[in-house]
Every structure is written in C-alpha cells, then in structure tokens.
Amino acid sequence: MGDDPAYDGLSKRPSMQASLNQHGTELARARQGDGDVCCYHWFEYCSGRPLLESASSPPRVAASCETQSFHGDPMPPCAAVETLEPPMRESLRDRWLADAAAEHASIAAFARQTLELVALGAPADLLADSQRASLEEIEHASACYAMARRFDPQGRSLGPGPLSTPGVRPSAWAQLVADTFVEGCVAETIAALRAERALRDCTDEPTRALLSRIADDESRHAALAWRTVAWALRSGGETAKHALLAAAHEFARGLPAATAASPDHDDRLRAFGILDRSAERRVWIDGWTEIVEPMLRALVGPRSRDADQGSSTCSVSSVSSA
C-alpha cells in the first residue's frame, strides 16, 4: 500500500486523508489484546455531516452507480467543460462524486440525529432544524451528482447505490454531545469553510453557485450542532461536559499537519473549485483553531451564554479570507 502513489491516507477516494489515532490505538490494543490493531482519524468530513459508526471508523458512503434517482437540475452545455481533455473531466467528475456520496450519507446522518434527539426529549426547534438539514442534504447530494454528470466524458447520469446505515446510538447525554461535536460542530464547520476557500479561485459560475449554497447551508448546520451541544450540556451536566472535552482533545491530537502547496495541482482544477491537498489541510487547521476551538472555549468557559447563541457566533466567513 505504501508503494501506491494514489494513497494519501488509507483510501483511494480523492478527498480522504487519515492519520494514526495514537490514543485510540493504545486503548483498542489493550482492550482487544491485539498489538496489530490500529485506529485512525479520518479527514473526509468536508461535504456535510459524516455518517460514522464510531469516532475512529471511516465515514460510510454509498458507491456511485448509473441511475436517474438523484439527477438534480439539468445543466446547460458549457464550452469550458466541453474542451477539457477526458482525464481532466474524469478527475473533476470523481471529486464531485466523492462530495456527492458524502452529501448523500449526510441525509442518513441527520435522520439518525433526529431519532437520537427525540430519544432524549429534544425541543421542537432542534428537531425541525435537524429534519430541514436532512432535506437540504438531499438537495446538496442531487446537485453534486448533477455536477459529476456535467464532467463525466460520457455524460452519464450518476447517483448513489445502496448505503448500509448504522443504527441509532445509545441514548445518553455524553454520547450525544461527543457525536454532535465531531459530526456537526467540527465536520459541518470544515465543510462550510472548505466551500468558502474553494470559491476564492473558482471562476466557473455553476460551480460557484453550488459552493455558495453549500457554504451557507453547512454553516447553518454547524450552528445547529452548537445549539444542540449547548442544550445537551444544560441537561447532561458534568458528564456531558467531560465527554465534550474528551472528544475535542482526541480530535485535536489527530489534526493534519500543514504542508507546502502542491506544485503539480492544475490551475484549471482551482478554477473549477477543487482545492489541492495543502489547501484542504489548511481548511482543517484554520477551521479548528479559528472557529471550533474558540467556540468550544466560549461554550464551556465563563462566556457560555455567547456560545449558546450558536447561530450568531459560529462564523465561517470571518476566517475564509485568512
């Protein structure tokens, strides 16, 4: 596997990266008595809420297939796309397919979140916003599959195959807080910031429209996650707070390191809204240090009332020009 240049992490999906989760690995090896077990932090939660079975498992996504089920709005022919050589079109198609699969998985992730909120007696506004977010993820997925079709050299209509969905997790405040933090507060923030950053050099109008929509919606989904965590902390007390801080600590340990810009990244990819690996990592680092960590401090520190107003303080645009 190490000899395969296509790997950067443990998946061939173009947006997937991973790093060793040392603490999780130590715990798993002690628990299982198996010195070969390894756990990883996965960095692919950039296109919506990830569908995770556990904090150390890779996000679940459906394989793509030829289908009319998620065709989205048709896009008019575009000379800038038609003149791209097939390998470039395939590269762009595959990036959008990866995003589309992640958006599609977010539908299930929000559906599961709604059930978990109901189980803990969540208020109506959180339930309604969770349901709305699930519908928005359907629109994101459809639009991303439509974008994949636009770049596919054969113009095929692509969509998701079956997706094996994990069950509802144990109904407990600590569980809800930790899961919502990782999947919503972090991942949806990263997704919004990633879309904002991709807009910087993007000159393709249909792509700009979709990225703008995704940035707005994912930012709102991140704010919903912070509101959910704030609500759960009020009910869950110290146990929930400790679970939140443990999840944050573990996540911070696995943040990717910054790397130099990728010299072989084709400028045409940037023009079509595709970030290189260096920029992708920068999104994670900046999203964590400039948005998530300050929000976390506000939530569990003396200024907790500020963070309680998640929708007004969780701002991606404030760091998107960094």
Residues that bind Fe ion (CB under 5 A): 48-49, 103, 137, 140, 188, 218, 221
DSSP H or E run through 64: strand 64-66
Q: Closest CB to Fe ion among 24 and 59?
A: 59
What's the closest the beta carbon of residue 108 comes to Fe ion, in angstroms? 12
| Nearest residue relative to Fe ion (C-beta) | 48
Tokens matching residue 200? 């910087």
Using DSSP's 3-state secondary structure scheme, residue 71 falls into coil
Least Cβ distance, residue 51 to Fe ion (angstroms): 12
Comparison of 29 and 213: residue with beta carbon closer to Fe ion: 213
Helix 277-287 crosses helix 187-200 at what angle (to 10 degrees)?
Answer: 130
Both tokens of 98, joined, read: 């990866």
Closest CB to Fe ion among residues 24, 280: 280
Minimal distance, residue 32 CB to Fe ion, in Å? 34
CB of 299 to Fe ion, least distance (A): 20
Residue type, 309: Q
DSSP class of residue 192 equals H
Q: Which is nearer to Fe ion, 56 or 134 (CB)?
A: 134
Helices (H), the chain: 22-32, 79-82, 86-119, 124-151, 173-180, 187-200, 205-253, 267-271, 277-287, 293-300, 304-308, 310-313, 317-320
Q: How far is the CB of 318 from Fe ion (least distance, A)?
A: 19
- Euclidean distance between CA atoms 222 and 60, whole angstroms: 20
Q: Which is nearer to Fe ion, 50 or 256 (CB)?
A: 50
